[in-house]
């Protein structure tokens, strides 16, 4: 429930941002935690921090014309929302997917403000993307689109201004084409302007693995405070993209038994534990579907009409997309004995699901804390670019593990300080907001 102090702010967000339902959901989820903060810090209300943090500093929408392999002209829409730079240059990914519209980009950018604040790194929050779908497109088509996209975007970004990265539909291939066009237009080898680059040309080791690894590190910290670990825990990981694959890898390394994953077609259930090498061959090499895995693995079965969350498990890691885990799914997980949920994707759990987990005593790690490993490692990539340096895999992974442990400690302690022990969602919202709000007050009315 919204505190009466913050309800007017939410009503104004709805009025000013009509139809942007994902953005409304993200704002409400944060505002529900802020009543005690305003009671303790009335100066934030006086400075209108909530109203200011809910309004992006800059919203850029542009046309992206390009030509496909058949010679036909295509038109897409590009976005970059530079949401808040109180702590540093805007930082956040680019998403290429047909579902992308302004409301999606603003929800992601708003979440990014607090996620980035929790890392303790000097980075602000932003997000961008396009309704372009790279699926089924040739490399040449993707290149032509990326070059057209960057021909507009380049004038709005820079290593001290706005540093995009990848997200859904934007991997190392897309980042390469984008960076190449930026370099061509600006005549500068400004490595720090984009993160998620290839390691041969300025990228950081562990960046590819970071979001999935970080989610598992965070889940393991959640277990530690209960006197447990991932060792011998049964795990469910939704999705089978980059985040999911690396969450599966790290969970297995820490002793967990991952028995299911999914894609947009079906759910894969392998009671003997997922064969990660086979799954990677199917998804990363062949670009196939989880049904191809089942055809080669006798212990596996397909649940084409089911949901991954109806399976029994100790730990659930939703790593696919927003609002994939509903209140009904949460009820199934609770009945089947799940005790830990950590979000690898951005806002994959609906408000009803989060409420059900909280009421049932299931430890729930929100994405702005649990999946912050990706952007944290992006900031480490920026450090290496700025110093013209490169770090080893083991050193960078150690830095990532330390950052995730620190985020967990901050969130856990903040929840206790504000009278909600064990409520990671409240702790993450409050801790992230306090860091951003303090900087905004210090910088004056800008």
| Residues labelled as active-site residues | 127
The answer to the question of whether 350 is labelled as a binding residue is: no
Known binding residue 91? Answer is yes
In 282-372, which ranges are continuous DSSP H helix? 290-296, 327-335, 351-360, 367-370
Say if CB 268 and CB 296 are below 8 A apart.
no
Q: Is 442 in a helix, a strand, or coil?
A: helix
- Distance (Å, rounded) from C-alpha 429 to C-alpha 368? 8
Rounded-to-integer distance, Cα 257 and Cα 259, Å = 6
**What is the b/e burial string over 208-224, where b = at least 16 CB atoms within 10 angstroms of the residue's CB?**
bbbbbbbbbbbbbbbbe
> Going by DSSP bridges, is the β-strand pair 257-262/315-317 parallel, antiparallel, or unpaired?
unpaired
* CA atoms of 298 and 350, how far apart (whole Å): 34
In sequence order, the 6+-apart residues with CB closer than 8 A to the CB of 77 are 61, 62, 63, 64, 101, 130, 131
Number of CB atoms found within 10 A of residue 278's CB:
15
The response to whether 242 counts as a known ligand-binding position is yes
3-state DSSP assignment of residue 272: coil
Distance CA 2, CA 429 (A): 14
Among residues 69, 95, 36, 40, which one has the least CA distance to residue 423? 36
* 112 among annotated binding-site residues: yes
The whole-angstrom separation of Cα 228 and Cα 222 is: 9
| 25 contacts 107 by C-beta, under 8 angstroms | yes
> For residues 163 and 288, what is the distance between their CA atoms, to the nearest angstrom?
32
Does 115 count as an annotated binding residue? Answer: yes
Q: Distance of CA 251 to CAs 67, 147, 325, 411, Å?
A: 43, 37, 20, 22
Rounded to whole angstroms, what are the CA distances from 76 to 109, 129, 212, 342? Answer: 20, 10, 30, 34
Q: Taking a C-beta distance cutoff of 8 angstroms, is the pair 385, 202 a contact?
A: yes
| Whole-angstrom distance, CA of residue 344 vs CA of residue 320 | 8
Query: Is residue 378 part of an annotated ligand binding site?
Result: yes
Q: Annotated binding site for substrate: which residue ranges?
A: 91, 112, 115, 166, 378
Q: Annotated binding site for NAD(+): which residue ranges?
A: 211, 242
Q: Annotated binding site: which residue ranges?
A: 91, 112, 115, 166, 211, 242, 378
């Amino acid at each position: 429930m919204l505190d009466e102090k913050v309800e007017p702010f939410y009503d104004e967000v709805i009025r000013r941002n009509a139809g942007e339902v994902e953005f409304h959901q993200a704002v409400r989820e944060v505002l529900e935690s802020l009543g005690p903060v305003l009671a303790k810090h009335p100066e934030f209300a006086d400075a209108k921090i909530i109203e200011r943090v809910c309004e992006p500093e800059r919203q850029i929408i542009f046309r992206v014309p390009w030509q496909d392999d058949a010679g036909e002209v295509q038109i897409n829409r590009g976005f970059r929302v530079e949401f808040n730079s109180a702590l540093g240059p805007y930082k956040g990914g680019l998403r290429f997917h047909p579902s992308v519209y302004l409301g999606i980009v603003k929800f992601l950018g708003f979440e990014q403000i607090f996620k980035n604040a929790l890392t303790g790194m000097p980075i602000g929050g932003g997000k961008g993307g396009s309704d372009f779908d790279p699926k089924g497109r040739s490399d040449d088509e993707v290149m032509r689109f990326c070059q057209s996209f960057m021909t507009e975007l380049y004038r709005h970004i820079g290593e001290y201004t706005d540093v995009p990265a990848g997200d859904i539909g934007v991997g190392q291939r897309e980042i390469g084409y984008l960076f190449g066009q930026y370099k061509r237009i600006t005549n500068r080898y400004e490595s720090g302007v984009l993160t998620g680059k290839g390691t041969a040309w300025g990228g950081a080791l562990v960046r590819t693995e970071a979001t999935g690894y970080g989610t598992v590190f965070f889940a393991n910290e959640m277990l530690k405070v209960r006197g447990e670990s991932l060792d011998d825990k049964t795990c469910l990981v939704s999705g089978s993209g980059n985040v999911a694959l690396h969450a599966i890898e790290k969970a297995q390394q820490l002793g967990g038994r991952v028995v299911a994953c999914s894609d947009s077609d079906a759910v894969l259930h392998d009671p003997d534990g997922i064969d990660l090498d086979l799954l990677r061959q199917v998804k990363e090499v062949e670009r196939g579907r989880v049904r191809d895995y089942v055809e080669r693995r006798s212990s596996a079965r397909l649940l084409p009409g089911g949901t991954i969350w109806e399976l029994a498990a100790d730990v659930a890691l939703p790593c696919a997309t927003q609002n994939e885990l509903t209140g009904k799914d949460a009820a199934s997980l609770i009945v089947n004995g799940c005790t830990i949920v950590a979000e690898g994707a951005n806002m994959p759990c609906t408000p009803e699901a989060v409420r059900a987990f909280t009421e049932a005593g299931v430890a729930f790690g929100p994405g702005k804390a649990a999946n912050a490993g990706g952007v944290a490692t992006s900031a480490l990539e920026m450090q290496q670019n700025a110093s013209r340096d490169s770090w080893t895999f083991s050193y960078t992974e150690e830095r990532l593990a330390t950052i995730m442990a620190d985020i967990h400690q901050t969130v856990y302690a903040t929840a206790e300080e504000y009278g909600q022990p064990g409520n990671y969602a409240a702790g993450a919202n409050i801790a992230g907001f306090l860091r951003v709000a303090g900087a905004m007050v210090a910088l004056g009315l800008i």
